[in-house]
Structure 1
Amino acid sequence: MNDAAVMHNHALAPSDLARLDARFPVRNVAVNGGAVVSARECGSGPAIVCLHGIGSGAASWLDTALLLEADARVIAWDAPGYGDSAPVAPAAPTAADYAQRLHALVDALGLESFVLVGHSLGALTAACAARPGSTLAGRIRRLVLISPASGYGAHSRAEAGERVRSQRLATLAQVGIAGMAAQSAARLLSEGASEQSKRWVRWNMARLNGPGYSQAVELLCGGDLLADLPPAMPARVACGALDVVTTPQVCAEVADRCGVPLELIANAGHASYVEQPQAVAALLRDVLAA
């Protein structure tokens, strides 16, 4: 299926696209080393940098960002290999490769202090950037992990990681990005999610790039979130109460490693900031106040 067909099958209303482009516009930021990072931005004030998960993109943060634009400068990147962002060089990248690209982006944007938010796979990059000894840690005011993916890089999870790698890459080869969007998007939301949330998740997933997704699968299977925790700064860990991807039980282990209680987001599945943007915005507003 070609790109035009993908967009037709998972289209948003023209008014939604116009709202995205007008209120949370995208731009390509040239970073050190000649690469480009695609990012969306709105608002003014203290900076919040948001990192999406494996099946999403910068645009997915729209509703949460707009709720915060009076309080903060909200920046969401397209991870390497997503959107117009240049991929990182290794075929099997590590969290450190993505964290290095994040460092280049915040340098290019002139951010000396910011809150870093990592959702799902984005938590691997965020935790690596925030670990003790990281060259970026001193500029991160707070770390927020939402439904963090722990990764399969620990020795005890290696066998499971091989299964996940094989399954995800086989699915990509068999049904492509469009098929993944049709089959997988519903799992990211609770059964009570609105039709708008479902369309938004499908649209973001349908815009994935195959090579960038494949690199992200390698990051997921080789990453070890717990090895980078606790971070060098205060942290908050949250999870959708109805999350079946990174369950509250799994996220509680991450919160325990950070020395904080797990915060549950009511009536939300994995993509909680899409499904319950008011609750996630309230959490981030509270982080800013701290």
Structure 2
Amino acid sequence: MTNASTIELPSLPQSEVDRLDARFPARSVQVRGGVVSVRECGAGPALVCLHGIGSGAASWLDMALLLESDARLIAWDAPGYGASTPLTPDAPKAADYAERLLGLLDAMEIESCVLVGHSLGALTAASAARPGSPLAARIRRLVLISPAAGYGTRPEASQRVRTERLDTLDKLGVAGMAARRSGRLVSENASELARQWVRWNMARLNDRGYRQAVELLCGADLLADLPPAMPVRVACGELDVVTTPAACEEVARKCGVALELLPRAGHASYVERPSVVAPLLREALAA
């Protein structure tokens, strides 16, 4: 068995760390129940971005810089990620994450936004955007990118995924898990820098936040919250092997829209090919 303590934390070129700190710095926003760590860049209509299970707010850096003249891009570290306070339940629901998101929008006085959910972030986004949600009136448009559907309706798969992910965490630690799993998040076309970013983000996960996110993934049912109460676009990297185009097609069908394929991109499309994802978000902002 690999000793987690012997695995070095993946690093980024110092120039990238400096660029992140200078252009997309983190700050903590006080909300009910604790704080939410956010990164913010640009001016214009609010574009609120929710990352996936193995990532964090920093992953939206290149997207924020590409869109800084079009939008005020706000990326959160989900509860239990970065400096964000974890949720109270050990097995939180999508609605619990959506409630924390509501607290963040209240604290930042955001009355209208385009909401983007990537992978696991789509579960929170869909819960926030469902008909009857207290957040729905504030969301002008919803964008789901490579949405995770959750395993809540598939008990055997849910137990398998929970066991596999938590066993990997227990045996390898966060750094070892990043080394093992991060490669699946990008396609063979990805640059070495994009691979470094994906590994670096994953290696900075917090144990409790990740365990709670695994419970969300295993207990949630994305389709139950769809279609949303506002216009929606659903996109997926054409080379995504995590939430495949076939799986995302089912989400798009439930929303009554066509799936939009992002060429030559894997699961972490906005990290791997931000220039391909940026036009989609510009259109969502302008619509």
Which TM-score bucket, shorter chain as reference?
over 0.9
**Is 2:96 the counterpart of 1:101?**
no
**Structure 1: distance between partners of 2:151 and 2:155:** 6
Question: Once the two structures are superposed, what CA deviation does each residue of 1:30-89 show, in whole Å capped at 9, x if it has no partner?
Answer: 0134x1000000001000000000000000000011100000000000000000000000
Aligned residue identity for 2:11: A
Q: Give 3-state SS (helix, strand or coil) of 1:104's partner.
A: helix
Question: Once the two structures are superposed, what CA deviation does each residue of 1:174-200 show, in whole Å capped at 9, x if it has no partner?
Answer: 101011111111100001110000000
* Aligned-residue offset at 1:13: 1.1
Q: TM-score, normalised by structure 1?
A: 0.96
Residue in 1 that maps onto 2:258: 261
**Is 2:67 the counterpart of 1:68?**
yes
Contact 1:26 1:40 in 2 (8 A): yes
Residue in 2 that maps onto 1:136: 135
Question: Once the two structures are superposed, what CA deviation does each residue of 1:190-239 show, in whole Å capped at 9, x if it has no partner?
Answer: 01110000000000000000111000000000000000000000000000
Q: Give 3-state SS (helix, strand or coil) of 2:150's partner.
A: coil
Q: How does 1:103-252 map to 2 (within 5 A)?
A: 103-154=102-153, 157-252=154-249
Instruction: Provide structure 1 residue ranges, at least 5 long, that are not aligned to the other structure.
Output: none
Aligned residue identity for 1:179: G
Aligned residue identity for 1:120: S
Question: Once the two structures are superposed, what CA deviation does each residue of 1:245-276 show, in whole Å capped at 9, x if it has no partner?
Answer: 00000000000001100000001000000011
**Is 2:283 the counterpart of 1:286?**
yes
Q: Give 3-state SS (helix, strand or coil) of 2:90's partner.
A: coil
**Structure 2: distance between partners of 1:252 and 1:12:** 34
Contact 1:142 1:287 in 2 (8 A): yes
Q: TM-score, normalised by structure 2?
A: 0.97
Q: Give 3-state SS (helix, strand or coil) of 1:260's partner.
A: coil
Residue in 2 that maps onto 1:81: 80
Contact 1:123 1:149 in 2 (8 A): yes
Question: Once the two structures are superposed, what CA deviation does each residue of 1:103-156 show, in whole Å capped at 9, x if it has no partner?
Answer: 0001100000000000000000000000000000000000000000000112xx
* Aligned-residue offset at 1:9: 3.6
Sequence identity (%):
70
Moved segments of 4+, more than 2 Å: none
Q: Give 3-state SS (helix, strand or coil) of 2:58's partner.
A: helix
Q: Give 3-state SS (helix, strand or coil) of 1:263's partner.
A: strand
Q: Give 3-state SS (helix, strand or coil) of 2:54's partner.
A: coil
**Structure 2: distance between partners of 1:13 and 1:31:** 33
**Structure 2: distance between partners of 1:10 and 1:175:** 14
Aligned residue identity for 1:227: A
* Aligned-residue offset at 1:14: 1.1
Residue-pair matches, total: 284
Aligned Cα root-mean-square deviation (Å): 1.0
**Is 2:4 the counterpart of 1:12?**
no
